[in-house]
Structure 1
Amino acid sequence: MKLKDLATVIRSKNASPFVTTLDVFFASRENYETVKASGVLTKELLAKLYKLPLDSVLGVWFVDDCQGIKMSILKHVPSDHPLAADLYGAQQNAPLLDVEIPGSEVPEV
């Protein structure tokens, strides 16, 4: 299954003029644990998805208490730069939507 099929919320936003944060939240503990255990959401994957050098991926953090994942990346250019494509960082979650999560299966009906 894809991340968008398991998560309830996948969003992005500014964390500063230089950093975009990506949040993923799950309604069920099972879906959260499946994604966490898959090992798919890594700094290396984010660097590839967002076409960034690895050191521009600040981290991937799993927050068990809220069944959420927080990821932070440096922006290609600061928010106030004339070439900035997304001033608010609000449309940067799209590359995460189709990430395949091994170990997750479509429930049989």
Structure 2
Amino acid sequence: MHETRTIADLALEVRSKNAGPFWVTMELFMRDAVGYTIVADPAYLNASTVARLYGIDADTVQIFRLPALHVVKISFPRPVSQGSLRDRDIHAGQHHVPLALFPLPSP
């Protein structure tokens, strides 16, 4: 049986955080250049992928690739403003889970 590998398997850390009352930022800290190369590939991880994972408009997604640090940073507008009545994660600390569990491309 073949177990599906995810971004989390290649990362030192995948985290999300509040980036002001209207934005969420997620950071993928990859263990090495090999993992970074896989995750930073725009054919694998791009605005359309993030939009599908989070139910948002791809035009609002910003992706920053930092090869010297092996980091990919993703920002997009919060679905509801921070602290509003429908805000279920005021610190945006749990938004990273769908991204961390995203399957890696097949070898």
TM range (shorter): 0.7 to 0.9
The structure 1 segments of at least 4 consecutive aligned residues displaced by more than 4 Å after TM superposition are none
* CA shift for structure 1 position 26: 1.2
Structure 2: runs of 5+ lacking an equivalent: none
- With over 3 angstroms needed to count, the CA separation of the structure-2 counterparts of 1:82 and 1:64, relative to structure 1, is same
| Percent of residue pairs identical | 27
RMSD in angstroms over aligned alpha carbons? Answer: 1.5
Q: Counterparts of 2:41 and 2:54 in 1: how far apart (Å)? A: 23
1:45 corresponds, among 34, 42, 49, to 49
Distance 2:81 2:41 in 1: 34
- Give yes or no for contact 2:40–2:65 (8 Å, CA) kept in 1: yes
CA deviation vs aligned residue, 1:25-81 (integer Å, no higher than 9, x gap): 112111111222362111111111111122332x11110111100000101110021
For residue 77 of structure 1, what is the aligned residue in structure 2?
Answer: 80
Partner of 1:87 in structure 2?
Answer: 90
- Conserved? CA contact 2:38–2:44, under 8 Å: no
Return 5+ residue gaps in structure 1 as ranges. Answer: 105-109
Q: How many residues align?
A: 103
Distance 1:62 1:77 in 2: 26
Is 1:54 equivalent to 2:53 in the alignment? no
2:55 counterpart letter in structure 1? K
Distance 1:35 1:93 in 2: 14
Instruction: Normalising by structure 1, report the TM-score.
Output: 0.86
Per the alignment, residue 33 of structure 2 pairs with 29
TM-score of the aligned structures, taking structure 2 as reference length: 0.87
| Distance across 2 between alignment mates of 1:53 and 1:37 | 20
User: Which residue in 2 is equivalent to 1:102?
Assistant: 105
SS at match of 1:32: helix
What is the distance in 1 between the residues matched to 2:68 and 2:106? 22
